[in-house]
A and B are shown apart, each in its own frame.
Chain A
Amino acid sequence: MSAEALSTQDTVVQDTVAQDTLAQDGGGGNNFLIPNGTIIVELVIFLVIFWVIWRYVVPPIKRVMNQRQDMVRRQIEESRQASERLEAAESKYQEALNEARTEAAKIRENARADAQRIKEDMREQADQEVARIRERGEEQLTTQREQVVRELRSELGALAVSLAGRIVGESLADESQRSATVDRFIDELDGMSATDGQATTRTGENR
């Protein structure tokens, strides 16, 4: 009996607790799909987050993103410019190289031409010198020969006459006969030496 009463009482207590819970749930009853006052708290909390993100997070994030985009754009532009400059420098270098090559070739050509010209000049000079020396030598020879002839003409005549006079005696006393004989002799000598000179010249040409 007492056990039964206890059991009943227990049920009652449980019932009361359940009803209390129901009552406590308030305006929305026990239905958890009906919002209660918490909604205001939640809204306020979210508004704070929204405000902070709107004012203090999104602007700096956007700013740094834009800055980074600008930086990347600038770097791409710079690298493009650098490669352009490199290309220009390379072409300029190539041009300069070609120019230098042509210049060098021209200089070499000139030098070769100069050398040729100098060689020819020198050869000509040498030839002229040779000719001049030969001419002078010939002149000298001629002068000497003439001198010799002149000396001979004066000395040889007298010598021969004196010798002949000693041998022949009076026979050659006639002055005119004597000079004629000497002249003939000298002419023969002259003719001999002329043949000699011709032979010498020919030998020189052959050399």
Chain B
Amino acid sequence: MSEHVLAAEGGIQVGQHPQVTFLGLTLNVDTMISTVIAALIVLGFAVYLRIKATSGVPTGLQLLFEAVTDQIERQVEENVGIRTAPFVVPLAVALFFFILIANWMSIVPHAFADYVGPPTADVNLTFALAFFVIILVHITGFRTRGVQYFRHFLGPVPAMAPIEVIQEIVRPFSLSLRLFGNIFAGTVMVSIIALMPEFIHWLPTTAWKLFELAIGLIQAIIFAVLTIVYFAGANPEEGAH
């Protein structure tokens, strides 16, 4: 109670979302709006590429997609082996671009923060992505190696088994909360800067938002690369060469 009042007095509401209830589910309106906008941007790029993709002189966007796809493909080839999991490349590409655009929605002015902000500042998005990835990793591991796959939970020596199991359980949380924490902290920082006097707060806000762009890019790369690494862990034999 006192915390709430304190926060209200400062004008900062941390992690508050306007919500609606639909079919018994509580839904965060702002996160959904932001996610849909980010998704539409990514899908717009996809449609544009689909129409414009050429082996001749490529557009800038196509070059960007080609560079990212090429890089991810190389990573997957080195770590996983592209034949065991052909969907890892599009998965990592989709994760990268979706998270990148979602993170970069942090540049939307603070005045609209109640309805549009980076959707990655909501655990609902990051948990959804991380658990989807980790579950897919386990399914892939089981499908390629069968029951043998579960032996790696035991670790190299039996004494390590608890640590290995904890690691496997922690992975989706670390993956999602790392992304969430970075972006969420950015939004909190913007809220705090907004408490400064009107005539000066634009300067640190601008500086911080530029910094947030870099953070958003790095977090998108980390999420995509870690996804590939986890898939590599599910196929140790394949990843060896």
Contacts and interface: CB of A to CB of B under 8 A. Distances in A.
A52 B31 contact: no
B93 interface: yes
Given A33-B15, A35-B123, 6 more contacts: A32-B15, A32-B17, A36-B124, A38-B26, A49-B42, A57-B90
B237 to A, nearest CB: 25
B54 A54 contact: no
B53, B62, B124, B129 — most chain A CB neighbours (10 Å): B124
The 7 nearest A-B residue pairs measured at CB: A37-B25, A32-B15, A67-B55, A54-B90, A38-B124, A43-B128, A26-B26
Q: Is the interface of B mostly helix, strand, loop or mixed?
A: helix
Given A57-B65, A65-B66, A33 B49 contact: no
Contacts of B17: 32
A89 interface: no
A61 B65 contact: yes
Nearest to A57: B46
B32 A41 contact: yes
B104 interface: no
B112 interface: no
A36 B30 CA distance: 13
Interface string A23-45: 01111100011111111111101
B69 A49 contact: no
A43 B132 contact: yes
A53 B93 contact: yes
A71 interface: yes
B70 interface: yes
B94 interface: yes
A14 B8 CA distance: 11
Interface of A: 14-15, 18, 24-28, 32-43, 45-50, 52-54, 56-58, 60-65, 67-68, 71
B231 interface: no
A150 to B, nearest CB: 117
Given A61-B49, A65-B70, A53 B94 contact: yes
Contact of A45 (B4, B36, B87): B36
Contacts of B14: 32
Contact of A54 (B25, B94, B97, B177): B94
A64 B49 CA distance: 11
B39 A65 contact: no
Given A38-B27, A39-B128, A64 B69 contact: no
B184 to A, nearest CB: 8
Nearest to A70: B55
Given A57-B49, A58-B89, A61-B62, A25 B26 contact: yes
5 contacts: A26-B21, A36-B28, A36-B124, A42-B32, A53-B94
B82 to A, nearest CB: 11
Contact of A32 (B42, B62, B95, B123): B123
Contact of B25 (A24, A36, A48): A36
Contact of B28 (A38, A46, A61): A38
A61 B27 contact: no
A38 B58 contact: no
B91 A50 contact: yes
B22 A37 contact: yes
Contact of B31 (A33, A38, A60, A63): A38
Contact of A68 (B16, B55, B90, B95): B55
Contact of A39 (B5, B16, B70, B127): B127
